[in-house]
Amino acid sequence: MNARTILSADGRVRRAFTVSDLFRMVEAGIVGEDERIEVVAGELFPMAAKGIRHEVLKQHLNLHLALALPAGFTFIPEPGWTLSELLYLEPDYLVFPARLGFAEVKGPQALLVIEVADSSLGYDLGRKPALYAAEGVREYWVVDAQSRETHVHREPAGTGYASVRIYPAAVELTAALIPGFKVRMADLPET
């Protein structure tokens, strides 16, 4: 295999797509500008449609982040985040130091990555932790849109996280690298 091919999960060699290839496909009209696609190890992954629970929770979490993040921190909802030539992800939230421009933010500069999961729970808890850990993302939360439980991943260790804890919606969560930031998922409105 060369840099332009990959061995896929089914054991077959396939063409590897780069993030630049994806952007060129959008420019050429092959992929729609509004399509949500991630590039993982050279494979293109269409993202699942978002349900109402996902969107409502995200709406209220967005407002909470805007009001509760302390000075010196900022966030971007649904960024198209290029982590390498073969890795492009669209987390629901990316929190980082405000002194950095978005283009400067790679895995270690991300202070918190949050995914709100409804139909994507398996992917967000299955493959994504290994991707984020390998890139050095120090804290990764997956919020189950149905139960509002939060899976908190800390201490990246190559193929995953050394610490993974699940917190019920009623527990007040704190981000390890963002002093003073707190959120209780049960306090966020459901409508």
Q: Render pLDDT for 51-72 as a digit per residue (tens, 0 to 9).
A: 688 888 999 999 999 999 999 9
Q: What is the mean pLDDT of residues 26-32?
A: 73
Taking only the tens place, the pLDDT of each residue in 75-122 is: 999 988 988 887 888 899 999 999 999 999 999 999 999 999 887 788
* Predicted model pTM: 0.82
pLDDT score recorded for residue 1: 43
CB count in 10 Å sphere of residue 80: 15
Taking only the tens place, the pLDDT of each residue in 161-173 is: 999 999 999 999 9
pLDDT score recorded for residue 68: 96
pLDDT score recorded for residue 39: 66
